[in-house]
Structure 1
Amino acid sequence: MPLQNRMLAEFVGTFWLVVGGCGSAIIAAKFSTVGIGLLGVSLAFGLSLLTMAYAVGPISGCHVNLAVTIGLTVAGRFPARDVGPYIVAQVLGAIAGAAVLAYVAAGAPDFDRFAGFAANGYGDHSPGKYTLGAGLVSEVVMTFMFVFVILAATHERAPVGFAPIAIGLCLTLIHLVSIPVTNTSVNPARSTGPAFFAGMWAIQQLWMFWAAPIVGAVFAGLIYPAMSGSLSPTAPIVGRKVS
């Protein structure tokens, strides 16, 4: 598949992850009569990824997360030459998704994007006021497990076609655990999109939501291959080769 096709797929996939996941938090979570709460937001992130894994996975592998791209590269499952273009597409998709949410949410008379806008944060900007250290450890561990599950679900010996379900449910579980800590990133692109609209505090804290997921992904990319043995060289999320 040509690189430009895969980049467009990554753009669309990340766009939908932000619109579906962050949109559920910004628009639906606290709706006065039928708010979906933490459980609903967690499911929205998982379902957003699951649906895109089936939709664009055959095209790009549906990374929609630069930490995943880096983790797969470290594990020998993705060509290093394509990491930069994938990251560009993912970040732009996330910003575009956040821009759509900012416009739609502004249609409500009491909307204030500086009140959070589903941005990730620690300290005073953590939903539970968790410290930087707690947020850092949470993001490293959660991203490690996320990329670990992706590598396992797309292993050459794993059942073909079921990987998106395991991966989507893993992302749901991660959000159920860690939304109170950092609003859950495990995805630097997802963090970057809302940060552009949430105010300067979100930009100032964004470094952690790049550094921690990348560290966790690198650990997973090193540990899972050492544990499992040989892997398909470039297996994407849905089990088809990206070329």
Structure 2
Amino acid sequence: MSHEIHPATDAGQDRTGALPLRSYGPAARTAAEAVGSFVVVLTGLGVTMLNTQSGVPPTLAFGIALLAAMIAFGYISGGHFNPAVTLGSAIAGRTGWGSVLPYILAQLVGGLAAAGLLWLLLSANSQLTDVNGLFAAASNGFEEHSAAQFPLSSSFLAEAVCAAILVAVFLGATARHAGRSTAPFAVGLTYAALLTLLLPVTNGGLNPARSTASALFTGDWAPAQLWLFFAAPLVGAIIAGLVFRSFDAAGRKPASEPATAVGPATAAPPVAPDTDTVDAGSGTPAAAPAGPAAPAGSPDDARSFFDKGPGTTGRG
């Protein structure tokens, strides 16, 4: 995956050593989340409701759509397209908390827009007399609305565990030291595999935006069961986020760790002025106070390569 180098950085790198992305404003990042969610829900739900022949399985369609959306829009917003991923990323310290609510609202709007478009297309076909029934068949449910009649407790546990796995794969695959070009493939294929596992249990949820999109067009039972498909994925996201946050904390070296002398002491080179720090009175660059170098394994080192860059480094 190609990335633009921010022109204000030295040798294409910022002070954490991570390759930054071009700076996009909050509006652009939020819009990218909405468009990406639209693509995922439109493709996945469309194949689920219209693919009556032996073609691409709906679960694989969701995974491929997520993979494509991450490649197409991930460099702008981080490529979440799922409220659970956004929450887990924020808890892990990869996404600023100020972005969480706008991202989740954008994901819900994108999913609902996709479902609305599908409803219009299906309603225009005179041979389809029960469009709401098609949405109900594609919606997530438990107990009598589970394909294999799984109870509430089993459905909640399965959704939470699978969501934790999905968020963990996202956080691991998009970390700075991971293979950046393979991240969309890892996340998309994991999403498809987990949806296949959940198909007989809950009809494959994992994404509150996707669950909401189909449930609100059923006109039946689905909205009453929608709470589980918010609560369980978000619980799984919290677990995965806390686990990765603990990994990051455990990987840091103490800043006061003494260096081991291996030879005669040498004078430290002079510190160049920090040209990004401007003196408020004169408007000219002011030298930044010298301090210890950021230790390896710092939180910045573990930030998502998608979320890295100006405007997405913890301030939303």
Task: Identify the match of residue 70 of structure 1 among 48, 64, 87.
Answer: 87
Question: SS at 1:161's partner residue?
Answer: helix
Listed as ranges, the matches of 1:38-57 within 5 Å are 40-57=57-74
Listed as ranges, the matches of 1:189-200 within 5 Å are 189-200=209-220
Contact 1:236-1:242 at 8 Å conserved across structures: no
1:78 & 1:93 partners in 2: Cα distance? 20
Partner residue in 1 for 2:265: none
- The structure whose RCO (Cα within 8 Å, separation 6+) is larger is 1
Q: Deviation at 1:144?
A: 0.3
Q: Deviation at 1:129?
A: 1.8
- What is the number of equivalent residue pairs in this alignment? 237
Could you tell me which runs of 5 or more consecutive residues in structure 2 were left unpaired when the two chains were aligned: 1-23, 252-296, 312-316
1:68 & 1:59 partners in 2: Cα distance? 16
Partner residue in 2 for 1:137: 157
Task: Identify the match of residue 203 of structure 1 among 212, 220, 223.
Answer: 223
Q: Deviation at 1:239?
A: 6.7
CA RMSD of aligned residues (A): 1.8
Matched to 1:114, the amino acid is N
Identity across the alignment (%) = 37
Tell which deviates more after alignment, 224-233 or 83-92.
Answer: 224-233
Higher gyration radius (CA): 2
Partner residue in 2 for 1:5: 28
1:78 & 1:233 partners in 2: Cα distance? 13
Contact 1:77-1:233 at 8 Å conserved across structures: no
Bigger fraction of residues in helix: 1
Q: Deviation at 1:108?
A: 5.6
Partner residue in 2 for 1:109: 127
> Is 2:54 the counterpart of 1:35?
yes
2:192 & 2:309 partners in 1: Cα distance? 26
Question: SS at 1:178's partner residue?
Answer: helix
Partner residue in 2 for 1:241: 309
TM-score, normalised to structure 1's length?
0.91
Could you tell me which runs of 5 or more consecutive residues in structure 1 were left unpaired when the two chains were aligned: none
Question: SS at 1:200's partner residue?
Answer: coil
1:242 & 1:128 partners in 2: Cα distance? 48
Matched to 2:27, the amino acid is Q
TM-score, normalised to structure 2's length?
0.71
Partner residue in 1 for 2:111: 94
Deviation by residue 1:105-146 (Cα, 9 ceiling, x = unmatched): 232613523322511111111122211111101100000000
Task: Identify the match of residue 159 of structure 1 among 155, 166, 179.
Answer: 179
